[in-house]
């Protein structure tokens, strides 16, 4: 029988993790809470936003707090799957040699792998990355490498369109959450980012955080216990199922959006896996709030982070995903009465 973990003590640790993240990025409490939920739900995270708004700082801070092995790779048009696995070079004897690439250097102690500007990479690289996220394993050097404690972070450059490739639907569905990061609007926070010199040196800012504050190699057991402990009453289950049904067929539910032909809007999405991930995230949120039961607010809070990137729109509507998808998701929440 597995040893039961002290969920109350771990909750205090999770809140300390969240507080530490908020100490290095300002004006992002909702995004930090979402990232914390994703990590303690054992899910992968895709960040998107403008250049220079703190995406990389946030991910590096999370990696520092988790401890374990950390690696990153830069998205580029010439990036190939082999670049993840090995590096070929000429050794001191002038002979060709091979050493493990960034994905393999820490083997099963790899905690965080960061794919920077994932949409700059070609589909071949996305294919390997898809298996990494789905199975936390890859094949290389005639053996299979396993990464049981791995969390994958990626960010997407949304400003530049040249030499970029849209992330396939299957790959996007493997991310538990997609979190949008924006610069703060509050005047005092903007002033701090401009004039507080501690924000000038990201290495020093992240380096001051305690390494391994949240032990990465214990999160799997913790997450499993949280998921089995937080209960969902029947009325809450019915509410969640109705959200899914309305999202799959909003036209039948009587939902309309301005300047949108609802009969032509959806191409797909809202998969069973996505809805299961929604409930995983909601349970973790309930635990962070100090409860052992779900409420509608738990679902509504994680709903946009878990579901938005799983709604695939048809034709020209796909080009307006950033505007239409949030409207649709809000309309679904407004349509379904909470218990």
DSSP states along 196-230: -GGGT-HHHHHHTSPTTSS-GGGHHHHHHHHHHHS
Q: pLDDT at position 159, please? A: 60
For residue 171, give the nearest of 225, 122, 102 by alpha carbon.
122
Q: Does the pLDDT at position 162 exceed 60?
A: no
Structural contact between residues 285 and 37, judged by C-beta atoms closer than 8 angstroms? yes
| pLDDT tens per residue, range 91-144 | 777 777 788 888 999 999 999 999 988 888 888 888 888 888 889 999 888 889
> What radius of gyration do the chain's Cα atoms show?
21
Closest CA to 69 of 113, 115, 110: 110
Q: What is the mean pLDDT of residues 234-238?
A: 96
Question: What distances in angstroms separate CA 1 from CA 4, 96, 227, one per listed residue?
Answer: 9, 50, 17
Phi, psi of 26 (to 5 degrees): -110, 150
Residue 15's pLDDT is 97
Distance (Å, whole) CA 48 – CA 283? 24
Question: pLDDT tens for residues 186-197?
Answer: 888 788 878 878
155: β partners: 47
Six-digit token string for 168: 């396939």
pLDDT at 158 over 70: no
Whether the predicted pLDDT of 181 surpasses 50: yes
pLDDT band at 26 (very low <50, low <70, confident <90, very high): confident
Over the stretch 243-280, which tens digit does the pLDDT of each residue have? 999 999 999 999 999 999 999 999 887 889 999 999 99
β-pairing verdict for 69-74 and 110-116: parallel
Ordered alpha helix ranges (H), 86-214: 123-135, 169-174, 187-195, 202-207
Over 50: is that where the pLDDT of 52 sits? yes
Say how many C-beta atoms besides its own lie within 10 A of residue 81's C-beta: 19
The answer to whether the CB of 87 falls within 8 A of the CB of 123 is: no
Considering only CA atoms, which of 159, 301, 296 is closest in space to residue 235? 296
**272-316 pLDDT tens trace:** 999 999 999 999 999 999 999 999 999 999 999 999 999 999 988
Q: Which two tokens stand for residue 289?
A: 């709030």
Domains of the chain: 7-223 (3.40.50.300), 230-335 (1.10.8.80)
57 HSE (CA, 13 A, CB side): 28
Q: Is residue 53 within 8 Å of 95, Cβ to Cβ?
A: no
Distance CA 45, CA 38 (A): 7
Mean residue pLDDT of the chain comes to 89
Residue 177: per-residue pLDDT:
95
Please tell me the distance from the alpha carbon of residue 33 to that of residue 58, in angstroms, as a whole number: 12
pLDDT reading at 1 higher than 60: no
Dist CA 35 CA 25 (whole Å): 13
pLDDT for res 167 = 77
Q: Which of 204, 198, 209, 228 is nearest to 292 (CA)?
A: 228
For tokens 């379904």, name the residue. 336
Contact 328, 256 (CB under 8 A): no
Q: What is the pLDDT of residues 201-222, one digit of tens each?
A: 888 888 899 998 999 999 999 9
- Cβ 145 vs Cβ 113: under 8 Å: no
Q: What is the pLDDT of residue 160?
A: 60
For residues 49-60, average pLDDT = 82
The closest of 166, 153, 194, 151 to 52, measured between CA atoms, is: 194
Q: Which residues contact 141 (CB under 8 A, 6 or more apart)?
A: 85, 86, 100, 104
Nearest to 77 by CA among 113, 109, 117: 117
- In sequence order, the β-bridge partners of residue 144 are 139
Judge contact between 111 and 68, C-beta under 8 A: yes
pLDDT for the residue numbered 179: 93
């Amino acid at each position: 029988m597995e040893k039961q973990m002290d969920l109350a003590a771990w909750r205090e640790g999770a809140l300390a993790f969240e507080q530490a993240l908020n100490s290095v990025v300002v004006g992002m409490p909702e995004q930090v809470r979402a990232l914390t939920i994703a990590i303690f739900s054992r899910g992968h995270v895709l960040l998107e936003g403008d250049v220079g708004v703190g995406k990389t700082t946030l991910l590096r801070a999370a990696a520092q707090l988790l401890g374990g092995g950390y690696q990153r790779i830069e998205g580029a048009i010439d990036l190939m799957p082999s670049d993840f696995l090995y590096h070929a070079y000429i050794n001191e004897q002038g002979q060709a040699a091979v050493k493990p690439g960034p994905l393999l250097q820490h083997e099963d102690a790899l905690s965080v792998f960061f794919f920077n500007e994932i949409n700059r990479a070609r589909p071949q690289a996305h294919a390997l990355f898809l298996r990494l996220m789905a199975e936390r394993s890859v094949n290389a050097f005639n053996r299979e490498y396993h990464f049981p404690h791995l969390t994958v972070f990626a960010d997407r450059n949304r400003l530049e369109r040249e030499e970029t490739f849209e992330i396939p639907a299957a790959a996007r569905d493997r991310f538990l959450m997609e979190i949008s990061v924006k610069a703060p609007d509050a005047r005092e926070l903007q002033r701090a980012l401009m004039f507080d010199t501690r924000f000038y040196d990201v290495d020093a800012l992240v380096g001051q955080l305690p390494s391994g504050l949240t032990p990465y190699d214990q999160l799997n057991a913790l997450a499993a216990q949280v998921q089995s402990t937080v209960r969902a009453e029947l009325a809450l289950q019915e509410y969640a199922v109705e959200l899914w049904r309305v999202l799959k067929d909003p036209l039948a539910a009587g939902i309309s959006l301005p300047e949108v032909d609802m009969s032509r809007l959806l191409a797909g999405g809202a998969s069973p896996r996505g809805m299961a991930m929604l409930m995983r995230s909601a349970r973790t949120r309930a635990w962070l709030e100090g409860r052992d039961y779900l409420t509608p607010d738990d679902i509504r809070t994680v709903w946009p982070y878990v579901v938005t990137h799983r709604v695939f729109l048809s034709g020209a509507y796909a080009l307006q995903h950033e505007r239409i998808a949030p409207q649709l998701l809000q309309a679904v929440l407004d349509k379904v009465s909470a218990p």
